[in-house]
Amino acid sequence: MNAEQLALPGVRKLTPYQPGKPIAELERELGLSDIVKLASNENPLGPGIEALKAMLRILEHAHLYPDGAGFELKAALAAKLGVAPAQITLGNGSNDVLELAARAFLSPDNAAVFSQHAFAVYPIVTQAVGARSCVAPARDYGHDLDAMAALVGADTRLVFIANPNNPTGTYLRRDALRGFLERLPGHVLAVVDEAYFEYVDAPDYPDALQWLGDFPNLIVTRTFSKAYGLAGLRVGYAVSSAEIADLLNRVRQPFNVNFLGLAAATAALSDDEHLRRTMELNRAGLGQLAGAFAGRGLPYIPSVGNFITVDVGRPAAPVYEALLREGVIVRPVANYGLPGHLRVTVGTAEQNEIFLAALNRVLGS
């Protein structure tokens, strides 16, 4: 049997998503300890105390299946966001709901539109279902909405928009994004990926959830993996019209969000103090890293997320490898069309300094 020949054509051509290198893997490879990982946009503060307490309270019940409908988490989200529970689709991280959108609305006869330098999951889920990918050239490392609109055709079913964008940290302003949504024909669904929503501190940044009543073809996705510090539990969600949510839930696995994740995410929503500390740490860290890059004369892309992407002035892969030997894990982004850049997650002040000292040694101080 040739399994390769049995697979769907889109699957045969896929390159698997490459996550940031785990700490344990680097420990095994190089025998290092005290490793600093700034590769996967995780919250360096970890989960908040309310999420931790919620998990501890239910550990003894881990032999039971989770609530497949996620009633309590949906109710908490609905109350916080001002939507109906029927508008929410829960996912195993927001990656899961992005895939659900592709499975529900794309086929080999359809196309999806997204931007150059945008999140790698968009082409993966599109190709996996055999649909066609239409990639618009970026403008200033971000989305060129005019170029994206020009690619929308009769066979287009999804447009993926990352706001803010990963890995560049750019964002679309309120008027620009709303104008784009107004131009989309009714047969096209707009998936606005707001995985880094909580981090943005810009007065002209839009909250796309406020537009759900105006655009029945809008899907907004968010996650608990970033600002809420629950990346290891994999909890994300989509908010849309109830009609779209019903279709997404038809292809969703019944227990796609685990027992601990449901409890931790529900508790995290009310932990305003943890979110405040997270935002303060991130704001200071972005300034710390950007100032150091500017001091070295390294161009960087201004970011509103919890990461910053820097041009190291040479092929980035050897710099990345050298940083690994220094015990620092960051993210090379050549697969995003940025071979001279590294994406660096904002860590604690101490972690940022360790990275910057290692970068100085690697580049030559």
Q: Are residues 220 and 79 in the same domain?
A: yes
Both tokens of residue 343? Answer: 């994406």
- Structural domain ending residue among the three candidates 268, 284, 302: 268
Q: Are residues 90 and 220 in the same domain?
A: yes
Give the model's pLDDT for residue 319: 97
Q: Is the pLDDT of residue 275 over 80?
A: yes
Q: Do residue 345 and residue 255 come from a single domain?
A: no
Q: 3-state class of 262 per DSSP?
A: helix
302 and 284 assigned to the same domain: yes
Q: Does residue 233 share a domain with residue 158?
A: yes
pLDDT value, residue 30: 75
Question: Same domain, yes or no, for 278 and 262?
Answer: no
Distance CA(94)–CA(73), nearest Å, equals: 15
Q: Which of 240, 268, 296 is the last residue of a domain?
A: 268
Please tell me the predicted confidence (pLDDT) of residue 32: 77
What mean pLDDT is predicted for residues 280-292? 98
Where residue 183 sits, what CATH number does that domain have? Answer: 3.40.640.10
Q: Indicate whether 259 and 138 sit together in one domain.
A: yes
Asked if residue 140 and residue 160 are part of one domain, the reply reads: yes
Check if the beta carbon of residue 128 is closer than 8 Å to that of residue 11.
Answer: yes
% of the chain surpassing 90 pLDDT: 90
| β partners of residue 237 | 90, 222
Residue 239: pLDDT band (50, 70, 90) is: very high
In this predicted structure, what is the pLDDT of residue 26?
74
Give percent of the chain above pLDDT 70. 94
- pLDDT at residue 258, rounded to an integer: 95
pLDDT of residue 17: 57
State residue 31's pLDDT score. Answer: 76
In this prediction, residue 1 has a pLDDT band, given cuts at 50, 70 and 90, of low
The residue ranking higher by pLDDT, 29 or 296, is 296
Residues 96, 196 share a domain:
yes
Q: Are residues 61 and 93 in the same domain?
A: yes
Output the domain CATH number for residue 289: 3.90.1150.10
Of 248, 268, 288, which marks where a domain is finished?
268
Structural domain of 36: 3-46+272-363
In the predicted model, is pLDDT for residue 106 greater than 80? yes
Q: Are 281 and 340 found together in one domain? A: yes
Residues 123 and 232 in one domain: yes
- Nearest Cα neighbor of 158 from 69, 201, 97 is 97
- Residue 5 is predicted with a pLDDT of 59
Number of domains in the chain: 2
Main-chain dihedrals φ then ψ at residue 256, nearest 5 degrees: -75, -15
Q: Quick one: three-class SS letters along 24-39?
A: HHHHHHHCCCCCEECC
pLDDT digits (tens, 9 = 90+) for 322-349: 999 999 999 999 999 999 999 999 999 9
What are the tens digits of pLDDT across the range 33-91?
888 999 999 999 999 999 999 999 999 999 999 999 999 999 999 999 999 999 999 99
* Structure confidence by residue, pLDDT tens digits, 162-213: 999 999 999 999 999 999 999 999 999 999 999 999 999 999 999 999 999 9
Cis peptide before 167 (omega within 30 of 0): yes
Query: What pLDDT digit, counting tens, does each position of 126-141 carry?
Result: 999 999 999 999 999 9
Q: How much is the mean pLDDT over the chain?
A: 94
Burial of 38 (0-12, 13-18, 19+ CB in 10 A): buried
